[in-house]
Each structure stands twice: as structure tokens, then as C-alpha cells.
Amino acid sequence: MSAKVIIFSGAGLSASSGISTFRERDGLWEKHDINEICMAGCLEWNYDNTIEFYNKRRKDIKDKHPNAAHKMIAQFKEKFSQYIEVITQNVDDLLEKAGCQDVLHLHGFLKELRCMQCETVVTVQYEIQTKENSICKKCGAKLRPNIVFFGEHAPLYEKLYEKLQSCGLLVVIGTSGNVIDVNYLSQYADIAVLNNLEKSDAIYEECFEKIYYEDAVTASKKIEQDIINYIENGYV
């Protein structure tokens, strides 16, 4: 059976496009208390402020553009669609703007709202969530950002581990490893490649055959060649 290439990304993939990461100095968690706007239950007591936070994030991504790393991933997905899986922790739409199809967004998608009762998902694009568009048309309950908050169940993790069963080459781009243990993910792959801007205490270097400590944009050409070599060697 052919082994797939799985490209797994985090906030570092979009950092060069001007989207703030969470843990960097002056990142989102430096400016906001996650217990108030991104923790399970915060919608029950802090609904308006939580909605405002995600309204700002939706507005922020509207004019952002994909960088060379997004485009590299999109090109591989288009050319080798049946052999490439694109999985991201990011909630932005830059992979889609680059033309990437069938992206698995593990933690949700900013351009969607979800009913807090019947789970219906609606697409709002970059629209601001207001009182007028915050009611589910199916059941009348409140809508919320379709984002997985800390402490909530992440249903798409099941799909992640499903796809990892056929992983030959794992490419990890721009994640600290603090939310999802990429050391563990690497064990599913025959070959694992890591690209981060800098070292992370949560990631063990010995789990990866190649490591690029640099911006995702500058590393994209090297990663592109790694994927080409893997494909040309007949693994897919």
C-alpha cells in the first residue's frame, strides 16, 4: 500500500503572512487572558467579549495573503491530491487562499459559526458576528465561533489519527508541540521532517530525520525538495 505524505502545520506557517502566533513574545496570549476568551465554558459567562475577540480575528485575516509555504503546500496537494494530506491546527484561511483543497482544520475555522445546541455550522466568511446573525435559523439557539476552545472535545482528532495510519513522510511546520504532541505523531511515519523558527522544549529532535530552524518561507524550498525526493523514490 502506498504511504502518504502528511503535512501538519501550526501558527508558524502563517506568521510570515502577518498573523500573530499565540506563544511568541507579544503574541495573542500576551494580550488576552485565555481563560476569558478561549476556555471551555467562557461563552456561558463572557459571551460578548469572546465573540468580539473572534470578530477581530476574522477581520484580521480578511486582507492577509498566503506566503510561499502555503503556496508550496497547495501546489503539492493539487498535483498529488491522492497522496498528500494537509492537516492544520490553524483556524485561518490562508491555505485555502493559496488554492489548497480538502484541508483538515483540527481546531475549527474562523469563517464558520456553530450552533451551541444543534451543532449546525454556517459560513459567515469575514462577516462580523452581531446579535442579528447570532441565532441559529434551525433551532433558535445561540451561535458561537466554530473554534475548539481549550478544554473542549476536538472531534477531528479522530480523523487525524485515522490519516496517520498511512503516513510515510510527516512534515511538521510551525508548531511548538505544546497542544499536539508531534513527537508522538512522528512515530507513525517512516520519515519525519520538522520546521520551526526555533527550538521548542516540547519537541524532541531525535524524533525527526531532518530539522530546519528557520522561517517557514525560507524553509519551504528545502521541504519541497524533501517531498519531491520522497515521491521520486517511489514511496507513493
**Tens of pLDDT, residues 12-56:** 999 999 997 655 555 454 566 778 888 999 999 999 999 999 999
pLDDT of res. 29: 46
Q: Which of 225, 201, 228, 193 is nearest to 9 (CA)?
A: 193
Task: Could you list the residues known to form a binding site for Zn(2+), using ranges.
Answer: 115, 118, 136, 139
Q: What's the rounded Cα separation, in Å, for the pair 106 and 124? A: 19
Residue 24 · residue 174 · CB < 8 Å: no
CB 74 within 8 A of CB 95: yes
81: left (phi over 0), alpha (psi -120 to 50) or beta: alpha
Q: Which domains does the chain have, with CATH numbers?
A: 1-19+66-107+153-236 (3.40.50.1220), 20-63+108-147 (3.30.1600.10)
Instruction: Say whether 70 is catalytic.
Output: no
The predicted pLDDT at position 21 comes to 63
| Nearest of 50, 39, 60, 56 to residue 144 by alpha carbon | 50
User: With b meaning 16 or more CB within 10 Å and e meaning fewer, what string describes 154-193?
Assistant: eeeeeebeebbeebbbbbbbbbbbebbebbebbebbebbb
Say how far apart CA 159 and CA 154 lie, in whole Å: 10
Q: Give the model's pLDDT for residue 178.
A: 94
Q: What is the C-alpha R_g of the chain?
A: 18
Handedness of CA 185, 187, 193, 198 (dihedral sign): positive
Residue pLDDT tens, the chain, 236 long:
469 999 999 999 999 999 976 555 554 545 667 788 889 999 999 999 999 999 999 999 999 999 999 999 999 999 999 999 999 999 999 999 999 999 999 999 999 999 999 999 999 999 999 988 999 999 999 999 999 999 999 999 999 999 999 999 999 999 999 999 999 999 999 999 999 999 999 999 999 999 999 999 999 999 999 999 999 987 65
Catalytic residue among 32, 70, 107, 153: 107
Alpha helices in 38-175 (DSSP H): 42-45, 47-62, 68-79, 94-97, 157-164
Start-to-end Cα distance in the chain: 9
* Binding site per annotation, positions: 115, 118, 136, 139
pTM, to two decimals: 0.94
At residue 18, the pLDDT reads: 92
